[in-house]
């Protein structure tokens, strides 16, 4: 039953990614011509020669029917070629090899940080309900959800620079090369993004825990004379986890958006800037791969979330 | 130093962005070069001297001997020949935006290994400038003949003072000292590292933290961060770029009327824009750079329509002209701009609004903007006039044309085209200067080509003079980027 369900979800996810890719594939072609940009250069140096634009369009194969271009792209994917960037001529695969791990690391560690912030605070405010704790969570929630990551990032950077005269070394050294430098470079962005991501999480954890606390089985557990810590850790938390994890899974898009922002603010060589640049340069092959990767990440993480929650809550598995 | 982003195209002959140039220029050299501390002067580079025939049709360059490329191959006249052939008539798949510079070249001859001769169809005094701009850097002939992809960093091979070391996208583009540089004493620096950074606040902070020695941008830096820091110098130099309005008379009939065009130029308050957009660091000028050899004197600029002091009188006159042209209630059209600068279009719209002209700004992504311009699908557009070098052919050549397909505006004046063609050929420098002044003034005063001068932005330079030595801020940030004689004081 459950396996069937997962297979169904996987196929659905695959179709979603395919459709998203096609939609983006079509729409970016309506919104600006890479050939014009290649010939015209940047806004600084627009020297425009329509005949030359036509020639470049031919060279890039952009004069062919849309559907043929799309199947060409899919064919490339199947045979393992991600293609080259229109603008730099460099293979996209080379860029991904360097940039993808960076983005995954930041995303993963930031989400982890969010849990570090949110779990104790959410739990605390649910268990000790009262003006004071309520106030703390509320203040935290408002600050964290009102503050944009880029602004907080800048603020933290300026504060650290002005107070300690320190700024993380530029760029990002691989952890295998120098772990200490790597940690210095990564710590501020993940704390900042973790903080911002924690906003929604705190509220969700608090509500989930409150809901579970009202369940009859909690009363039963207490009535059995279990220690309060056992009740909370074994019965309440476990049941509150399933919906919280599902919630986190649904927020992948939000997480990835945040990663792009901190990558820019902290100048980290992840996928974010690469993709943003690609959009403004109308670098179609890169944009398509970007949608494919982000879409797949979204689908895969949601699938994983399903699996994890179903292990935490067997009822979900049964329902299939 | 900072780079505004990752380099897009490392093939210097195809490249068009400052980022590309800043990465590549220290590796490649040209026949002549501009003085890094005074861009109005041309100095020898790979050519040690040159001769111009009395009819102005033959330019002979005598090349430096004993020069080696980074890969060890010797530099000869063949490299020059093959490089310029590639720029002038690029092979399939290569886009050469500057081929038009050499449209007067009939043929290039190489009588021996150390002599190159450019034979021209007509006199072209701009040639010396065009062989000195870094975009015409010389690659080894064997690479070009083998059809190598010059965008690839492994083919970044020249005779320059620095050679390619490494590139990590998003992190750093690194060059190292070329130990075999022909001048044994140069360069002074051990290397150059460019960090692609798109967030200006991050750049400013990295500079404050001492991670950058040089920080340049077209966007005003966060000046308050540098306030009270006597060790830091912040300089805004008027660039060679000029914001201009492009009136498309093909799609908007009223622009054909000279009174409408004049009303628009009268309504613009350039000095207000300089104050608002450049912290007052730019200056009122004509199309040619105000500090350059061809500059139109300021008193002459002020005589041009709309450039005077009395803006109120200008606005009255603008309204009157509009009424005479049959638009007493003003007119309405779309103002196309791209997202580099969103304030300038709204300032323009506001100033035009004061005489009853409703220009509705539409800000697009660069890609879409360029496409609309190429397709001529706009009414009024805000863009740059971006000469590669401060020289009349480069400044006016791209838009003074009667070629219907090339014209962005569908407007021209036969009389001024003749004047321009005269400038193109004139060998006498004083005469050429005088004609250039004439053309500059007349195109400011009456925008017959549909090109309206708006204002000249500044390029900001932030550096510590006590550390960065033998380097001075220059107006054209794409002209003297070799850094051979710069050094750092510890």
B408 vs B163: which has the higher pLDDT: B163
The whole-number pLDDT of residue A89 equals: 76
- Cβ-based neighbour number of residue A223 at 10 Å: 9
CA atoms within 13 A on the CB side of A67: 0
CB-nearest partner of A32 from B196, B225, B371: B371
Instruction: Please provide the CATH number assigned to the domain covering A96-318.
Output: 1.10.3720.10
Judging contacts by C-beta atoms under 8 Å, the chain A residues touching residue B365 are 31-32, 279-280
The model's confidence at residue A45, banded by pLDDT at 50, 70 and 90, is: low
pLDDT, tens only, B73-89: 999 999 999 999 999 99
* Residue A47 pLDDT: 55
In angstroms, rounded to a whole number, what is the distance separating the alpha carbons of residues A24 and A282? 12
Confidence of residue A317 (pLDDT cuts 50, 70, 90): low
Nearest CB partner across the interface for B9, out of A87, A170, A279 = A87
Rounded to an integer, the average pLDDT of A150-160 is: 84
User: Which chain B residues are within 8 Å of A31, Cβ to Cβ?
Assistant: 365, 367-368
- Does the pLDDT of residue B23 top 80, yes or no? yes
A211 contacts chain B (CB < 8 A): no
Which of B195, B366, B405 has the CB atom closest to A170's CB atom? B195
Helix or strand holding residue B246 (H, E) = strand B242-247
- Among A28, A34, A44, A275, most B C-beta atoms within 10 A, so best to mutate, is A44
Cα dihedral sign, B398-B402-B405-B407: positive
How many Å lie between the alpha carbon of A145 and the closest alpha carbon of chain B?
22
CB atoms within 10 A of CB B320: 15
Q: Which pLDDT belongs to residue A42?
A: 55
Q: Phi, psi at residue B348, to the nearest 5°?
A: -60, -45
- Report pLDDT digits (tens) over A85-122: 877 778 888 888 888 889 999 999 999 999 998 888 88
Rounded-to-integer distance, Cα B257 and Cα B411, Å: 10
What whole-number distance in Å separates Cα of residue A230 and Cα of residue B308? 83
Count CA within 13 A, CB hemisphere, residue B421. Answer: 9
Cβ–Cβ < 8 Å for A126, A117: no
How open is the CA angle A221-A222-A223, to the nearest 5 degrees?
90
**Closest by CA position to B372, among listed A32, A283, A279, A50:** A32
**Of A41, A52, A158, which is closest to B205 when you measure between CB atoms?**
A158
**Cα–Cα dist A53/A216, whole Å:** 71
> Which residues are bridge partners to B164 per DSSP?
B175
Which candidate, B445, B436, B481, places its Cα nearest to that of B461? B481
What pLDDT score was predicted for residue B42? 92
pLDDT, residue A318, reads: 66
- Among chain A residues, the shortest Cα distance to B212 is held by A170
Those residues with Cβ within 8 angstroms of residue A275's Cβ, 6 or more apart along the chain or in another chain: A260, A286, A287, A290
Cα radius of gyration rounded to whole Å, chain B: 23
Q: In a mutagenesis test of the A interface, which of B133, B202, B226 is the best target, namely the one with the most A β-carbons within 10 Å?
A: B202
- Separation CA B74–CA B274 (nearest Å): 50
User: What tens digit of pLDDT does each residue of B88-106 get?
Assistant: 998 887 888 888 889 899 9
Can you list the pairs that A291-297 forms with residues at least 24 positions away whose Cβ atoms lie under 8 Å? A291/A20, A291/A21, A291/A24, A292/A17, A292/A21, A292/A77, A293/A96, A293/A100, A294/A256, A295/A16, A295/A17, A295/A20, A295/A21, A296/A17, A297/A252, A297/A256
pLDDT greater than 80 at residue B55: yes
Q: Output the pLDDT for position B111.
A: 94
pLDDT at A40 over 80: no
Q: What is the pLDDT of residue A31?
A: 65
Helix (H, G, I), strand (E, B) or coil at A14: helix
Q: Is the pLDDT of residue B161 over 90?
A: yes
Residue B367 has pLDDT above 90, yes or no: no
Q: Enumerate the residues of chain A whose CB falls inside 8 A of the CB of residue B403.
A: none
E-strand stretches of B14-70: 32-35, 38-44, 47-52, 58-63
- Split at pLDDT 50, 70, 90, the class of B313 is very high
* Number of CB atoms found within 10 A of residue A215's CB: 13
Say if residue B352 is preceded by a cis peptide, omega within 30 of 0: no
Mean pLDDT of chain A: 81
CA distance to partner chain B, nearest, from residue A150 (Å): 10
pLDDT in tens, B171-181: 889 999 999 99
Please give the average per-residue pLDDT across B3-32, as a whole number.
89
Residue B271 pLDDT > 90, yes or no? yes
> What residues pair up with B357 in beta bridges, in sequence order?
B331
pLDDT at A44 over 70: no
Between helix A149-164 and helix B200-208 the angle, nearest 10°, is 10
Q: A46-50, B105-109, B163-167 — which is least confidently predicted? A: A46-50
ipTM of the complex: 0.72
Q: Are B367 and A98 inside 8 Å of each other by CB? A: no
A289 burial level (CB within 10 Å; 0-12, 13-18, 19+): buried
Confidence of residue B332 (pLDDT cuts 50, 70, 90): very high
Does A270 reach chain B within 8 Å, measured CB to CB? yes
Q: Is the pLDDT of residue B404 over 90?
A: no
Identify which of B97, B196, B406 has the shortest CB distance to residue A41.
Answer: B97
Residue of A nearest to B240 (CA): A44
Identify the pLDDT of residue B16.
81
Partner residue opposite B370 with nearest CB, options A36, A56, A268 = A36
- What the block records as the tokens of A314 is 């067997």
Average pLDDT, chain B: 91
Can you give the C-alpha Rg of chain A in angstroms? 24
Q: Where is pLDDT greater, at B284 or B338?
A: B284
Is residue A304 within 8 angstroms of chain B, CB to CB? no
> How far is the C-alpha of A236 from the C-alpha of B248, rounded, in Å?
69
Q: What is the pLDDT confidence band of residue B253, given thresholds at 50, 70 and 90?
A: very high
Which range has highest mean pLDDT (A18-22, A181-185, B248-252)?
B248-252
**A267: chain B residues, CB-CB within 8 Å:** 170, 195, 197, 199, 202, 206
- Yes or no, beta carbons of A274 and B170 under 8 Å apart: yes
Q: How confident is the model at residue A50 (pLDDT cuts 50, 70, 90)?
A: low
The whole-number pLDDT of residue A53 equals: 73
Could you state, in order of their start, the residue ranges of all structural domains in chain A? 2-78, 96-318
Please give the average per-residue pLDDT across A237-241, as a whole number: 84
How confident is the model at residue A152, as a pLDDT?
87
CA A86 → CA A285, B110, B125, B202, B293, distances in Å? 7, 36, 36, 29, 39
Q: Per-residue confidence at B300, pLDDT binned at 50, 70, 90?
A: very high
Q: Measured between alpha carbons, how far is A48 from B377 in angstroms, rounded to an integer?
A: 13
Q: What is the pLDDT of residue A228?
A: 82
pLDDT score, position A46:
55
Mean per-residue pLDDT for B306-310? 91
Tens of pLDDT, residue by residue over B379-399, are 999 988 888 889 999 899 878
């Amino acid at each position: 039953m459950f396996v069937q369900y997962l297979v169904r979800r996987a196929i659905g996810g695959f179709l979603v990614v395919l459709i998203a890719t096609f939609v983006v594939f079509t729409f970016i072609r309506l919104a600006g011509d890479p050939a014009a940009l290649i010939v015209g250069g940047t806004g600084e140096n627009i020297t425009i020669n329509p005949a030359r634009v036509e020639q470049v369009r031919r060279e890039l194969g952009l004069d062919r029917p849309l559907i043929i271009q799309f199947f060409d792209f899919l064919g490339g994917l199947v045979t393992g070629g991600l293609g080259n960037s229109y603008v730099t001529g460099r293979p996209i695969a080379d860029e991904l090899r360097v940039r993808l791990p960076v983005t995954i690391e930041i995303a993963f560690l930031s989400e982890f940080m969010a849990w570090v912030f949110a779990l104790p605070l959410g739990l605390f405010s649910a268990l000790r309900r009262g003006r004071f704790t309520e106030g703390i969570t509320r203040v935290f929630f408002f600050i964290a959800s009102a503050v944009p990551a880029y602004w907080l990032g800048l603020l933290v950077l300026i504060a650290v620079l002005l107070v300690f005269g320190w700024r993380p070394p530029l760029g990002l050294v691989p952890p295998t090369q120098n772990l200490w430098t790597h940690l210095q470079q990564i710590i501020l962005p993940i704390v900042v993004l973790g903080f911002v991501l924690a906003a929604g999480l705190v509220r969700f954890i608090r509500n989930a825990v409150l809901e579970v606390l009202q369940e009859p089985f909690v009363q039963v557990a207490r009535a059995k004379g279990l220690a309060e810590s056992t009740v909370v850790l074994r019965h309440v938390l476990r049941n509150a986890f399933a919906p919280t994890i599902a919630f986190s899974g649904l927020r992948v898009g939000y997480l990835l958006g945040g990663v792009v922002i901190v990558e820019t603010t902290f100048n980290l060589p992840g996928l974010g800037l690469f993709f943003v640049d690609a959009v403004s340069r109308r670098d179609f092959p890169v944009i398509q791969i970007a949608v494919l990767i982000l879409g797949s990440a979204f689908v895969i993480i949601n699938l994983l979330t399903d699996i994890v929650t179903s292990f935490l809550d067997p009822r979900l598995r049964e329902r299939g | 130093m900072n780079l505004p982003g990752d380099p897009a195209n490392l093939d210097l002959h195809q490249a068009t962005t400052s980022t590309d140039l800043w990465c590549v220029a220290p590796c490649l050299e040209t026949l002549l070069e501009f003085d890094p501390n005074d861009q109005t002067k041309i100095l020898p580079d790979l050519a040690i001297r040159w001769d111009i025939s009395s009819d102005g049709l033959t330019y002979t360059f005598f090349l430096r001997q004993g020069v080696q490329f980074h890969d060890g191959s010797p530099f000869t006249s063949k490299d020059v020949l093959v490089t310029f052939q590639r720029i002038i008539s690029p092979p399939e798949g290569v886009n050469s935006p500057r081929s038009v510079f050499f449209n007067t070249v009939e043929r290039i001859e190489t009588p021996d290994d150390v002599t190159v001769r450019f034979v021209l169809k007509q006199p072209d005094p701009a040639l010396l400038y065009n062989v000195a701009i870094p975009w015409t850097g010389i690659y080894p002939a064997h690479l070009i003949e083998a059809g190598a992809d010059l965008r690839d960093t492994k083919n970044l091979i020249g005779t320059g003072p620095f050679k390619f070391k490494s590139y990590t996208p998003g992190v750093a583009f690194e060059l190292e000292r070329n130990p075999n540089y022909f001048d044994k004493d140069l360069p002074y620096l051990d290397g150059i590292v460019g960090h692609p950074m798109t967030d200006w606040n991050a750049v400013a902070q990295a500079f404050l933290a001492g991670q950058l020695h040089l920080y340049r941008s077209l966007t005003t830096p966060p000046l308050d961060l540098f306030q009270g820091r006597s060790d830091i110098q912040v300089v805004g130099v008027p660039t060679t770029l000029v914001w201009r309005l492009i009136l498309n008379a093909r799609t908007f009939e009223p622009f054909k009327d000279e009174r409408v065009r004049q009303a628009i130029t009268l309504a613009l308050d350039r000095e207000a824009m300089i104050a608002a957009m450049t912290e007052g660091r730019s200056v009122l000028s004509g199309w040619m750079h105000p500090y350059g050899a061809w500059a139109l004197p300021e008193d002459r600029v002020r005589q041009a329509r709309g450039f005077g002091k009395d803006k109120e009188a200008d606005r009255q006159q603008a309204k009157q002209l509009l009424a005479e042209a049959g638009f007493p209630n003003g007119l309405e059209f779309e103002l196309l701009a791209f997202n580099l600068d969103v304030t300038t279009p709204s300032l323009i719209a506001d100033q035009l609004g004061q005489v009853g002209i409703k220009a509705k700004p539409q800000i697009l992504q660069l890609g879409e903007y360029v496409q609309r311009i190429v397709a001529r699908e706009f009414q009024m557009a805000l863009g740059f006039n971006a000469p590669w070098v401060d020289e009349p052919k480069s400044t006016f050549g791209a838009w003074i044309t009667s070629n219907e397909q090339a014209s962005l505006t569908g407007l021209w004046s036969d009389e001024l085209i003749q004047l321009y063609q005269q400038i193109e050929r004139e060998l006498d420098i004083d005469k050429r200067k005088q004609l250039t002044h004439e053309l500059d003034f007349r195109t400011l005063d009456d925008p017959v080509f549909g090109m309206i001068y708006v204002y000249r932005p500044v390029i900001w330079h932030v550096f510590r003079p006590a550390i960065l030595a033998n380097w001075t801020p220059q107006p054209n940030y794409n002209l003297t980027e070799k850094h051979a004689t710069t050094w750092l004081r510890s």
